[in-house]
Structure 1
Amino acid sequence: MKLKDKVCVVTGAASGIGKEIALTFAREGARIVIADLNLDAANATAAEIDAIGGGAMGVAMDVTDEAQVNAGIAAVVAAWGGIDVLVSNAGIQIVHPLEDFPFAEWKKMLAIHLDGAFLTTKACLPHMYASGRGGSVIYMGSVHSKEASLLKAPYVTAKHGLIGLAKVVAKEGAAHGVRANVICPGFVRTPLVDKQIPEQAKTLGISEDEVVKTVMLKDTVDGEFTTTADVAEVALLFASFPSNALTGQSLVVSHGWFMQ
């Protein structure tokens, strides 16, 4: 097992990509912290992991609230003694043309994606440093960490920013064996993406089918959505990699939508 007894915190893990990562890590022997705004849903996912023989706990966490983040991480350390892996996955999507984007919604987007990554990293790093085992910090970026799309100014801005944050964490954490990397998925058919399809259809004046074919998947090599399992496998690679050879990097998983 690649993550035997590793303590892994996954934010936004009650559903979607985060849940798939949590389940994948659990199958590799990790102890999983389901950190989510919705505690009932987090506990339900933790129970699902327990039922397949893993170890899991749910933690209520608003990643934009420093006190709540710190309390959640402290509870994990009290229960399990440390933290080995952080997957900063919590995120939302709001779409508007830039000239119509409410400032409050811009700030909300940046807070969840960037402040959340910063606060959870800041809370976890001292425990990774103190353990002597090193660790792995994984940020959920996007193809929008490399590219831009219409209607998504704060999302694109935040996802670009995560690459910069990962590079700093990689440099500062290297002496302690802590790696930091970014996963950059293409469109994954989650509730977050399903919500965008009618919103973009309305804003762009096209059908929902056209949004999928001519906006979301038009630049892929095969017209396919990236799957949660695809993303989880990359997360497992980053979490289990044995050395600083793979750090400060961003890996695109997008059916060829963006090629480096």
Structure 2
Amino acid sequence: MALLSDKVCIVTGATRGIGKGIALQLAEKGAKVYITGRTLDSPKDSSIGGSLRDTARGIEARGGTCIPVQCDHSNDKDIEQLFETVKRENDGRLDILVNNAYSAVNAIFSSMGKPFYEQPTSMWDTVNNVGLRNHYICSVLASRLMVARKQGLIVNISSAGGLRYLFNAAYGIGKEACDRMAADCGFELRKQNVAFVSLWPGAVGTEYVLKKYGDDEAEKIDSNKVPAGIQDRKKWLDIFQKGETPEFAGQCIAALAIDPDLMAMTGKVLTTFDLKQRYGLQDTPGHSPTDIRSMKRGLLQGGHTWISALTPGFVRVPKWLLSLGGSKF
């Protein structure tokens, strides 16, 4: 029997990138996956592509079950209709919700290097309407189905930008809020046996990043378009090219969903690297999730080359110490 053969899942924002990768993995492992996005068919003028039908074809080619649902996650009525459809078609059952929908990638990269007060005030809504508000609404509607059955898993796709500055102010605020959402909603859901976690992938080589910042474009990247703290443009590019694939987060979520100790992790921030170690997962050869707790990596990125060379790879920063990076006291 397939790993997730009895599971009903929703993956939002699954036309490309991490959302598509997660949907492919969950469906490949036997789940019935509802995928959402605004684009039903790839627009002819898109150099990056990506549509619900593209993802559905990929899932079907692997023998998986997929239901594409065209949904604008900035429209509350679309979201409500999505959950009504899932409820009606599955006798009220929903096992996994992955909150991944995000519509701000282009805006974030285009405004990189500009402080928040030089950006349009609309940047807040661009980043956090679909990427935060929608996550909350989906979580409310999913919880109503999961609580009725006393089981389920909700995953917010977040990032280390919730701990320290990354990309821009609106991005970091939104990601920390996603983490806090998992903590507080997880607290209230715990007694109902429903888990809520925040997942931090490492650097992911998505279609957008690899297309826009591929090798042939490396020299054209404006230094202002590189995240704060990373001065070497080529090094930044390498991080994404050698980082995890868009499907690795899907492997992590599939393993997490059947973990008998899942409730011990509810309300927490989980990294794909830690889940890789916990479940013995492997990404595609040549790719690996970033260990944000690696002392060696931290020293190297901080410019302490010789100290990094002397530091064993297994030395990791304790989680309690890492969390101090986001402390406000």
Same fold (TM over 0.5): yes
Task: Name the structure 1 match of 2:59.
Answer: 49
For the pair shown, the structure with the greater C-alpha radius of gyration is 2
Instruction: List aligned pairs for 1:48-127, cutoff 5 A.
Output: 48-81=58-91, 82-91=93-102, 92-93=104-105, 94-95=107-108, 96=111, 97=114, 98-127=116-145
Measured after TM superposition, the shift of residue 214 of structure 1 is: 4.7
| 2:58 is aligned with 1:39 | no
Using the alignment, how far apart are the partners of 1:226 and 1:112 within structure 2?
24
Pick from 230, 234, 238 the counterpart of residue 252 of structure 2: 234
Using the alignment, how far apart are the partners of 1:214 and 1:128 within structure 2?
40
Task: Name the structure 2 match of 1:135.
Answer: 152
For the aligned residue pairs, the C-alpha RMSD in angstroms reads 2.7
Task: Name the structure 1 match of 2:181.
Answer: 165
Answer whether contact 1:88 1:120 (CA < 8 A) is retained: yes
Answer whether contact 1:17 1:231 (CA < 8 A) is retained: yes
Measured after TM superposition, the shift of residue 106 of structure 1 is: 1.9
Q: From the superposition, tell whether residues 205 and 155 of structure 1 become closer, same or farther in structure 2 (CA, over 3 Å).
A: closer
Measured after TM superposition, the shift of residue 201 of structure 1 is: 3.0
Using the alignment, how far apart are the partners of 2:211 and 2:180 within structure 1?
28
Structure 1: runs of 5 or more not aligned: none
Using the alignment, how far apart are the partners of 1:195 and 1:153 within structure 2?
25
Between 49-58 and 173-182, report the one with greater CA deviation: 49-58
Between 183-192 and 40-49, report the one with greater CA deviation: 40-49
Using the alignment, how far apart are the partners of 1:85 and 1:74 within structure 2?
15
Structure 2 counterpart SS, 1:213: helix
Answer whether contact 1:224 1:255 (CA < 8 A) is retained: no
Measured after TM superposition, the shift of residue 73 of structure 1 is: 1.2
| 2:205 is aligned with 1:189 | yes
Measured after TM superposition, the shift of residue 193 of structure 1 is: 2.9
Answer whether contact 2:135 2:156 (CA < 8 A) is retained: yes
Structure 2: runs of 5 or more not aligned: 42-50, 273-288, 295-318, 320-329
- Name the amino acid aligned to 1:83: L
Pick from 211, 217, 222 the counterpart of residue 233 of structure 2: 211
| 1:119-144 per-position Cα deviation (integer Å, ceiling 9, x unaligned) | 11111111111124x00000100121
| 1:18-43 per-position Cα deviation (integer Å, ceiling 9, x unaligned) | 11111111122100001111123213
Using the alignment, how far apart are the partners of 2:236 and 2:257 within structure 1?
34
Using the alignment, how far apart are the partners of 1:26 and 1:214 within structure 2?
32
Between 84-93 and 248-257, report the one with greater CA deviation: 248-257
Between 37-46 and 4-13, report the one with greater CA deviation: 37-46
| 1:181-217 per-position Cα deviation (integer Å, ceiling 9, x unaligned) | 11112221113434774799336288xx942415884
Using the alignment, how far apart are the partners of 2:199 and 2:234 within structure 1?
22
Task: Name the structure 2 match of 1:246.
Answer: 265
Q: From the superposition, tell whether residues 194 and 106 of structure 1 become closer, same or farther in structure 2 (CA, over 3 Å).
A: farther
Structure scoring higher RCO (CA < 8 A, sep ≥ 6) equals 1
Using the alignment, how far apart are the partners of 1:115 and 1:251 within structure 2?
21
Structure 1 counterpart SS, 2:198: strand
Q: From the superposition, tell whether residues 3 and 214 of structure 1 become closer, same or farther in structure 2 (CA, over 3 Å).
A: closer
Measured after TM superposition, the shift of residue 68 of structure 1 is: 0.7
Using the alignment, how far apart are the partners of 2:165 and 2:15 within structure 1?
28
Answer whether contact 2:156 2:197 (CA < 8 A) is retained: yes
Using the alignment, how far apart are the partners of 2:225 and 2:235 within structure 1?
14
Using the alignment, how far apart are the partners of 1:110 and 1:216 within structure 2?
28
How many corresponding residue pairs? 253
Which structure carries more strand by proportion?
Answer: 1
Q: From the superposition, tell whether residues 158 and 258 of structure 1 become closer, same or farther in structure 2 (CA, over 3 Å).
A: farther
Q: From the superposition, tell whether residues 166 and 212 of structure 1 become closer, same or farther in structure 2 (CA, over 3 Å).
A: farther
Answer whether contact 1:187 1:216 (CA < 8 A) is retained: no
- Name the amino acid aligned to 2:168: K
